[in-house]
């Protein structure tokens, strides 16, 4: 077990940076998980938003509009200065600022529509589109009542009433809303990125040290056969991976708590274990390719980690990625990992089935196997070239 022992002695030497990586990424994971609900829902939705209304008309109609928005959203007071308006949008204190210009009521009554209102929004944001629709809808209805000959107060009151009716009902087919806690799924969703970084940055330096040309040659000269040596290195990598796996599974239980104990968790754990095997195989493959220095290693880890994460829907939901991107992503294991995660969480159209779950797990395992084959092929090639 000489090589295995050496593996752990070197690992001990690399503990310090490893702790730093693990700490930093665990912290990142904790924050993402805790805030995932906010972030994932930030697209186009009907919850109430932080907005501001600047009333320069100070008329009855303007007040009614403000009241309507107040009933739907969270109004934040701001000063009517360009600087204040810009600051609030820039720092996202508010998502939308409606400016009711002078003469709003008059224009409304005369049926004028041009430049009736003004707004400032986070450029191009979906929240802006949403509020525009909402306000437009409101104004249009007021105009219909006005066209019908009612006065402005009556019209606005009528609109307020129709819009107050609850229109949307949310049905739950699976878990009840109260018992539903998606944190666990978000936690597992981000794991691929973290696994890749921790394995490439943590395991690769050890493998490099063991595979250094001089060391390699010296080991080749020794009486130990190559197979035995490789098996021991593999064993070391496996132990390292298990360590990482345990640390993050424990972290999951720590930050999610009792919600982690559910039927899906077994599947989630299995899914992530298989992905971890792939990440380890990929790391070993990278190391057989060529030894490089630390900065380069970090660059590779992040290119692979971030790239795969973005293409496969770790950071941006798969439902937002286009068809061709998703088609290409099928050639990356993270896609199958996320597919399983989405299926378990109900984040995708596909309802959960054991069959497709295990198919996706199998595909990830195949990727790992392909990497191992690559390792064998490359090391054989290298030996022949000697």
Partner 1 sequence: MFLHCFGYGIKNLLRSRDYLFWSLGFSIILATLFHVAFGDLSKGEGFIPIPTAVVLEESCPQPLKDVLDTLGEPGDGQLLEIQYASQEEAESLLKGKKVSGILFVGENVSLSVSGDMTYDKLNQSILQSLAESLHGSYEAVSEAAARSPEKLPQILAALQKDAAHNQEINYAGRNLDEGLTYFFNLIAMTCLTGSTAGAVTAAASQANLSELGKRKSVTPGKKQVRILAEVAATILMQFFAVSISVVYMWAVLGVDLGSSAGYVLLTVLAGSMAGVSGGFFAGCIGKSSIHVKIGVLMAITMLCSFFSGLMVGGMKLLVQRYAPWFNRINPAALISDSLYSLAVYESHTRFFQCIGGLFIISALFILAGAAMVRRQRYASL
**Which residue lies nearer to partner 1 by CB, 235 or 291?**
291
Minimum gap (Å) between residue 109 Cβ and partner 1: 12
What H or E segment, with its residue span, contains residue 99? strand 96-100
Closest CA to 4 of 260, 285, 224, 291: 224
Residue 74 interacting with partner 1 (CB under 8 A): no
Instruction: Tell me, residue by residue from 12 to 51, as one string, x for binding to partner 1 by CB under 8 A and - for no binding.
Output: --x-xx--xx-xxx-xx--xx--xx-xxxxxxxxx-----
Q: What is the spatial distance between Cα 323 and Cα 320, in angstroms, rounded to a whole number?
A: 9
**Which residue lies nearer to partner 1 by CB, 91 or 221?**
91
Which residues within the stretch 171-200 sit at the binding site for partner 1 (CB under 8 A)?
171-174, 177, 180, 182, 193, 197
DSSP lists the bridge partners of residue 98 as 53, 119
Minimum gap (Å) between residue 9 Cβ and partner 1: 16
Closest CA to 359 of 327, 332, 337: 337
Which residues within the stretch 85-104 sit at the binding site for partner 1 (CB under 8 A)?
86, 90-93, 99
Q: What is the spatial distance between Cα 344 and Cα 357, in angstroms, rounded to a whole number?
A: 9
Instruction: Tell me, residue by residue from 107 to 126, as one string, x for binding to partner 1 by CB under 8 A and - for no binding.
Output: ----x-xxxxxxxxx-xxxx
Which residues within the stretch 238-277 sit at the binding site for partner 1 (CB under 8 A)?
none
Q: What is the spatial distance between Cα 386 and Cα 384, in angstroms, rounded to a whole number?
A: 5
Say which DSSP state 74 is in.
Answer: E
Residue 9 interacting with partner 1 (CB under 8 A): no
Q: What is the spatial distance between Cα 250 and Cα 246, in angstroms, rounded to a whole number?
A: 6
| Cβ-contact 356, 343 below 8 angstroms | yes
Which residue has 């790992």 as its token pair? Answer: 368
Region of 57-65, 233-241, 272-280, 347-355 interacting with partner 1 (CB under 8 A): 347-355
Residue 331 interacting with partner 1 (CB under 8 A): no
Tokens of 161: 């009433």
Minimum gap (Å) between residue 157 Cβ and partner 1: 12
Residue 148 interacting with partner 1 (CB under 8 A): yes
Which residue has 């525009």 as its token pair? Answer: 132
**Which residue lies nearer to partner 1 by CB, 159 or 368?**
159
Which of 261, 299, 327, 353 touches partner 1 (CB under 8 A)?
A: 299
**Which residue lies nearer to partner 1 by CB, 128 or 252?**
128
**Which residue lies nearer to partner 1 by CB, 252 or 313?**
313
Residue 296 interacting with partner 1 (CB under 8 A): yes
Residue-wise DSSP of 231-299 = HHHHHHHHHHHHHHHHHHHHHHHHHHGGGG-SHHHHHHHHHHHHHHHHHHHHHHHHHHH----HHHHHH
């Amino acid at each position: 077990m000489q090589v295995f022992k050496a593996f752990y002695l070197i690992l001990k030497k690399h503990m310090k940076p490893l702790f730093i990586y693990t700490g930093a990424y665990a912290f990142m994971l904790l924050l993402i998980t805790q805030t995932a609900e906010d972030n994932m829902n930030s697209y186009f939705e009907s919850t109430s938003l932080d907005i501001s209304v600047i009333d320069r008309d100070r008329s009855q109609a303007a007040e009614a509009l403000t009241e309507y928005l107040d009933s739907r959203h969270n109004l934040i007071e701001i000063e009517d200065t360009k600087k204040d308006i810009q600051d609030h949008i820039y720092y996202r204190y508010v998502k939308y600022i409606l400016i009711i210009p002078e003469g709003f009521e008059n224009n409304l009554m005369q049926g004028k529509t041009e430049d009736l209102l003004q707004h400032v929004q986070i450029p191009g944001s979906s929240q802006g589109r949403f509020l525009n629709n909402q306000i437009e809808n409101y104004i249009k209805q007021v105009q219909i009542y006005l066209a019908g000959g009612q006065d402005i107060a009556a019209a606005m009151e009528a609109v307020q009433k129709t819009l107050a009716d609850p229109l949307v009902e949310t049905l739950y087919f699976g878990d009840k809303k109260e018992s539903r806690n998606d944190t666990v799924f978000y936690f597992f969703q981000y794991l691929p990125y973290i696994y890749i970084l921790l394995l490439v940055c943590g395991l690769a330096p050890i493998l490099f040290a063991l595979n250094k040309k001089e060391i390699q040659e010296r080991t080749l000269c020794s009486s130990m056969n190559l197979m035995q040596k490789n098996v021991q290195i593999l064993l070391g990598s496996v132990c390292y991976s298990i360590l990482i796996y345990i640390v993050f599974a424990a972290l999951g239980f720590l930050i999610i708590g009792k919600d982690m104990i559910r039927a899906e968790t077994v599947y989630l754990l299995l899914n992530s274990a298989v992905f971890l095997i792939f990440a380890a195989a990929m790391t070993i493959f990278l190391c057989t390719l060529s030894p490089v220095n630390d900065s380069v290693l970090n660059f590779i880890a992040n290119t692979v980690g971030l790239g795969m994460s973005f293409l496969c829907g770790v950071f941006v939901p798969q439902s937002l990625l286009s068809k061709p991107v998703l088609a290409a992503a099928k050639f990356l294991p993270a896609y199958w990992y996320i597919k399983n995660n989405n299926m378990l969480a109900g984040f995708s159209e596909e309802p959960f089935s054991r069959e497709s779950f295990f198919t996706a797990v199998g595909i990830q395992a195949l990727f790992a196997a392909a990497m191992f084959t690559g390792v064998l092929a490359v090391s054989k090639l290298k030996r022949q070239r000697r």
